[in-house]
Structure 1
Amino acid sequence: MNKYILLSCLFLQPLFSQNNSNNITISVKPGKVYYEKDQANKYLNFDFLIENKSNRNTILNAVEISVFDENNKLAKRDYVNVYSRESLELILTKPVEAHRTKLLFNPFPEFDVNIPLHKLHYEFSFQTEDGKENDIVTVDVFPEFYQTKTNLIPPVKGRVLIWDAHDYNSHHRRFDYTDSLFIKRGTTMNFQRYGYDFVVVDEQGTMYKGNPKINIEWYDDIADDNTDYYGFGVPIYATGDGIIVDIRDGVPDDRTISEAEILKNEKAYGGNYIIIDHQNGEFSWFGHLKQGSVKVKKGQKVKQGEIIGAMGASGNSLFPHLHYELRNGDGAKHVEGLPSYFNKYFRVFGSKKVAVKNGLLDAGDIIESK
């Protein structure tokens, strides 16, 4: 038998007996796990916080999941490991250092819509760097379907590309709040877990005028002209009814942030922003707004579809766009994202447009609304 096939078979069974040394503990973040769904799939978006309490560095080499329905009947089993079914998580995994913690993004983010997600039983296999000690840690997760409470519409009209959303590879999803920078800021959760970046595009899906740009320059902080972008200055609309609980205006559209400002105001990373409290536990955040464009005041009531500002490039912005997210509070340190479903828009499929009464948005989607 091929050695890789053999290893795959072996990983379907526990590699080691349960280790009761309590060297490693794993907690689920956030504490309440939600899933989203569309006609084809269910989507999970949560993390595992691994704490190594031992005096040795340890390596995560395999994760297995067993999915059960409400009758505790097995519906699916899957696994990843460093030998035959590598995942982005395991490829990038460095040892969990002694007496340190590490954030691991759930490596099983998507399931067929027909698979019940009543209980997810995870089994993590660890081994010390010298290979002399092994640990098995099990964790059970009980996801809940989240139905957005607020009647939401897209915040940008016209033809829009969802440049990034909150899928498995999204930078919103892969926000490591255990990094020393965020620990210094006091961040303890992923406030942008369900975030979106909206950009205005033309018929070809291009977001700017003029000569082609080398997109790596955005990451190298080589600024170009904001006015080259179709979206710069376009109106931003309230996604739903609510009360303005916070605003910020006057920040230049220079695509930069000041760490000193963030330490004074945890929300300053978004440059100019507006936060709407929908009065039901859900808050809408609109970030990177154009300097001087905010049209609302703190405490003001707004209606869905009302113009509240304009798209800009203030704060931590690669280029002019709108960062939008639904969340459970108006801060950044102790706030978690929430799933959001939108109404009254069209999905663009080439020359065909399909009306969506209520649906999810995903990275790469092209939508239109009026």
Structure 2
Amino acid sequence: MCATLNLAYPFRGRWMTQNSPANRVPSHGTALYGTSHAIDFVPVNDQGRTAPFTFAALLRTEPASNFPGFGRPILAPVAGTIVAILDSEPDHDAFRGLPSVRYAVTQRQRASEGWTSLSGNHVMIETDGGPVVVLCHLQQGSITVARGQRVKQADALGRCGNSGNSTEPHLHLQVIDRLDAQSAQAVPFTIDGGLPRNGQIISVE
């Protein structure tokens, strides 16, 4: 496994941490597609909440646009070269309550369909040292970079969406040892020298 890579936070504003490798490894319950050290960030409002949870949300799906972070800018957490993008996957409704149970039942099917079924719209940045940084579930049509383009830390990449294997708008961040996610191994990483724990709210100016 490659040495630990240090990243910057790939966003501004307030975000809540989920599925952090600071709590457990593999953080997402599997090493498939190099996800063992991946981390998720859910955008929240000034009160630290996502969309209000109503009785209706218990019974049916909700538009992704109801959530406070849908469309928030996503930034490059490291300098490097864009080696892959996908920008055409639709943003689907969000799933909470009973819809989230039904969605979970189909998880294995999505995994069997391959990497893009899980990642949705994404950007992959090859760092100068070799590892590839992956940012997933971006908003359809929002990606502003092109393959082969050099980016600096904090350059705009796209916007937070709800594409791929996602129950509500959020950002999935991971680092892998090669471009081919199907065969990749995870590379451990830190963010600003550490890692937030599950439930921790990050505020970045």
- Is TM-score (shorter-chain normalized) higher than 0.5? yes
The one of 63, 66, 69 aligned to 1:231? 69
Identity of counterpart residues, as a percentage?
A: 29
Matched, 1:247 2:88: no
The DSSP-based 3-state class of the residue aligned with 1:341 is strand
For the residues of structure 2 that align with 1:261 and 1:147, how far apart are their CA atoms? 27
Tell me: CA distance 1:362–1:260, structure 2 relative to 1, closer, same or farther (3 Å). closer
**Higher Cα Rg, which structure:** 1
**Partner of residue 328, structure 1:** 177
Contact (CA 8 Å) 2:43, 2:169: kept in 1 or not?
no
Aligned to 1:155: 10
CA offset digits 1:315-341 (Å, max 9, x no partner): 110110011112212222211212211
In structure 1, how many angstroms separate the alpha carbons of the residues matched to 2:165 and 2:38? 14
1:266/1:331 contact within 8 Å kept = no
Match of 2:34 in 1: 191
Distance in 1 separating the partners of 2:127 and 2:196: 20
Q: 2:19 aligns with which of 164, 167, 171?
A: 164
User: Does the 8 Å contact 1:164/1:364 carry over to 2?
Assistant: no
SS of 1:276's partner is strand
Letter in 2 for 1:251: E
Look up the equivalent residue of 1:162 and give its one-letter code.
T
Tell me, in whole angstroms, the C-alpha distance in 2 between the residues paired with 1:196 and 1:223: 24
The answer to whether the 8 A contact 2:16-2:200 is kept is yes
Taking the aligned partners of 2:109 and 2:146, their CA distance within structure 1 comes to 26
> Among 266, 269, 275, which residue is 2:124 paired with?
275
| Equivalent residue number for residue 133 of structure 2 | 284
- Provide the residue aligned with 2:198 in structure 1: 363
Counterpart amino acid of 1:231?
Answer: G
Gaps of 5+ in 2: 94-102
Structure 1: gaps of 5 or more residues: 1-31, 35-145, 178-188, 344-357
1:363 offset after TM fit, Å?
A: 1.5
Aligned-pair CA distance for 1:305: 0.3
Secondary structure, aligned partner of 2:7: coil
Q: Secondary structure at the match of 2:115?
A: coil
**TM-score, normalization: structure 1?**
0.47
Higher helix proportion, which one?
2
> Higher relative CO (CA 8 A, sep ≥ 6), structure 1 or 2?
2
Give the aligned length.
193
Aligned residue identity for 1:158? G
State the 1:199 CA deviation: 1.2
Q: Deviations over 1:202-258 (max 9, x none)?
A: 2332112x454788x5xx9x4212111111000000001000110001111016899
Decide which of 268, 288, 308 is 2:157's aligned counterpart: 308
CA contact (8 A) 2:23 2:197 kept: no
- Describe the shift of the 1:167–1:342 C-alpha distance in structure 2 as closer, same or farther (beyond 3 A): closer
**In the aligned structure 2, how far is the partner of 1:321 from the partner of 1:269?**
13
Q: Is the 8 A contact 2:25 2:36 kept in 1?
A: no
Q: Deviations over 1:90-119 (max 9, x none)?
A: xxxxxxxxxxxxxxxxxxxxxxxxxxxxxx
Distance (whole Å) between structure 1 residues aligned to residue 110 and residue 28 of structure 2: 25
Question: In 2, are the aligned partners of 1:267 and 1:332 still within 8 Å (CA)?
Answer: no
* TM-score between both structures, scaled by the size of structure 2: 0.81
Contact 2:26 2:37 in 1 (8 A): no
Matched, 1:206 2:49: yes
CA deviation vs aligned residue, 1:35-93 (integer Å, no higher than 9, x gap): xxxxxxxxxxxxxxxxxxxxxxxxxxxxxxxxxxxxxxxxxxxxxxxxxxxxxxxxxxx
Shift of 1:162: 0.6
Higher strand share: 1
